[in-house]
């Protein structure tokens, strides 16, 4: 089964779905409309996202409302952290350099 968050996000459609959910909870059919994908396709992607913990769902009549779960996105962010540290260090160095120039 898909566990790895990175491979889950490798699919553009899934990132698009998450981007939509960032704006708020959404039903499947809303996603189908907004993303111009087939309903089965959306459902399948949602299943992957759900099993990977990126989204959760609740039932509302016949609809299922999907909601973004930030936790898993943080997993990606954690992998990125040391890299981000690298470029912020470079930025800091640049700033210090510019400060010196002003003297």
Partner DNA sequence: TAATTATATGCCTGTCGGGGAATATTACTG
Partner DNA sequence: CAGTAATATTCCCCGACAGGCATATAATTA
Task: Cite the beta strand spans of the chain per DSSP E.
Answer: 26-27, 55-60, 63-68
Q: How far is CA 101 from the centre of its chain?
A: 41
Tokens of 102: 């002003």
Buried b (16+ CB within 10 A) or exposed e, 45-61: bbebbeebebbebeeee
Site for its own copies in 48-87 (CB under 8 A): 70, 73-74, 76-77, 79-80, 82-84, 86-87
Is residue 40 a contact point for DNA (CB under 7 A)?
Answer: yes
Is residue 93 a contact point for its own copies (CB under 8 A)?
Answer: no
In this complex, which beta carbon is closest to DNA, that of residue 47 or of residue 89?
47
Site for its own copies in 26-45 (CB under 8 A): none
CB of 14 to its own copies, least distance (A): 9
- How far apart CA 33 and CA 31 sit, in angstroms, is 5
Interacting residues toward its own copies by CB under 8 A: 4, 6-7, 9-10, 12, 15, 18, 22, 70, 73-74, 76-77, 79-80, 82-84, 86-87, 90
């Amino acid at each position: 089964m898909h566990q790895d968050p990175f491979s889950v996000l490798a699919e553009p459609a899934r990132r698009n779905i998450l981007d939509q959910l960032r704006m708020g909870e959404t039903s499947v059919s809303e996603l189908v409309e907004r993303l111009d994908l087939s309903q089965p396709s959306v459902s399948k992607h949602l299943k992957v996202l759900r099993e990977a913990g990126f989204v959760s769902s609740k039932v509302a009549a016949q609809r299922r409302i999907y909601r973004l779960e930030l936790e898993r996105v943080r997993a990606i962010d954690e992998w990125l952290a040391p890299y981000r540290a690298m470029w912020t260090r470079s930025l800091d160095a640049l700033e210090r350099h510019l400060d010196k120039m002003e003297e």
